[in-house]
Amino acid sequence: MSSTFLYGANVHANGIRQHYLRYGGALGERAARPAIIVIPGITSPAITWGFVGEVFGETFDTYVIDVRGRGLSEASAALDYSLDAQAADVLALAAALGLERYALLGHSMGARIAARAALRATPALESVVLVDPPVSGPQRRAYPGKLPWYVDSMALARKGADADGMRTFCPTWTDEELRLRAEWLHTCDERAVLASYAGFHTDDFHADAARLKVPTLLMTAERGDVVRDEDVAELQRATPAMLHVRVPHAGHMIPWDNAAGFYAAFGDFLGAPLARSAAIVTA
């Protein structure tokens, strides 16, 4: 199957350089559908979500972004790495790209960014997908991922590591996935990661989710303990219109563990089903 990758580019938005990868483009049937902005997680540069961009690009004009302090987007000691700044980046990028209709797809940290951005968005934002968002926060249980896992793997990557070096941290990943992580993890600024990890415990995701007014799909992993059944129930009580799908046979990195289940979980929520899908269990 031919690639849907078009190009990588930078845009000056919200006062910083933001880098993104574009897939699919806005031609043919894609022109009638909203664009998709993919916001990866805490130590996931855009390139590591390229395989997802390839699939989305078959159906949608798709932009996978480097969150500030990751990949090729701007990073510095003076940069604000707060959730508010990250959310403002997304909205400014959409405006700079001239997107008249778009949806946000955020994974983990990216889901928290998407939820915060949706509270301030213009009518151009049509929907939000929150993929296994950390539900930790004030007076709540801690995020299950431990900080040394991030810090130690980034330190190894900065020294120079190969796929085998990364295997200690991600034992279930394929060689290709491990090589990509080994190549790009060093581009995650530790200051950005520390700030975002601290925000997992100080920012109130539940309060943001309860205020969402756009159509929202919550997608969670069957394994991994990031979002439990009681968390889903609480979120849906606060936002009754929030749809939920739990993807079987997957941990927190859902598309890595069950790609078919991940793509199928969207159904036609975004306006058209993804080309690659399979039967899943819907909660």
Q: What is the total count of domains within the chain?
A: 1
Q: Tell me the residue range of the domain where 141 lies.
A: 5-264
Q: Residue 121 contacts by C-beta under 8 Å, 6 or more apart in sequence?
A: 91, 214
DSSP-assigned states of every residue in 167-229: HTT-TTS-HHHHHHHHHHGGGS-HHHHHHHHHHHHHS-HHHHHHT--S-EEEEEESSSSSS-H
β-pairing, 35-39 vs 16-23, is: unpaired
200, part of any domain: yes
The sign one gets for the Cα dihedral 50, 193, 131, 30 is: negative
257, part of any domain: yes
DSSP designation for 71: T
* Residues 142-165: tens digit of each pLDDT: 999 999 999 999 999 999 999 999
The answer to whether 53 and 62 have CB atoms below 8 angstroms apart is: yes
The residue behind tokens 């000691």 is 77
Distances (CA, A) of 82 to 48, 108, 192, 198, 263: 22, 15, 9, 10, 30
- What are the tokens at 170? 């991600």
251, part of any domain: yes
β-pairing, 16-23 vs 62-65, is: antiparallel
Hey, how many other C-beta atoms are within 10 angstroms of the C-beta on 254?
A: 26
CATH number, residue 34: 3.40.50.1820
272, part of any domain: no
283, part of any domain: no
pLDDT tens track, the chain, 283 positions: 689 999 999 999 999 999 999 999 999 999 999 999 999 999 999 999 999 999 999 999 999 999 999 999 999 999 999 999 999 999 999 999 999 999 999 999 999 999 999 999 999 999 999 999 999 999 999 999 999 999 999 999 999 999 999 999 999 999 999 999 999 999 999 999 999 999 999 999 999 999 999 999 999 999 989 999 999 999 999 999 999 999 999 999 999 999 999 999 999 999 999 987 543 333 3
281, part of any domain: no
193, part of any domain: yes
Predicted TM-score (pTM) of the model is 0.96
145, part of any domain: yes
CA angle 203, 205, 208 (to 5 degrees): 110
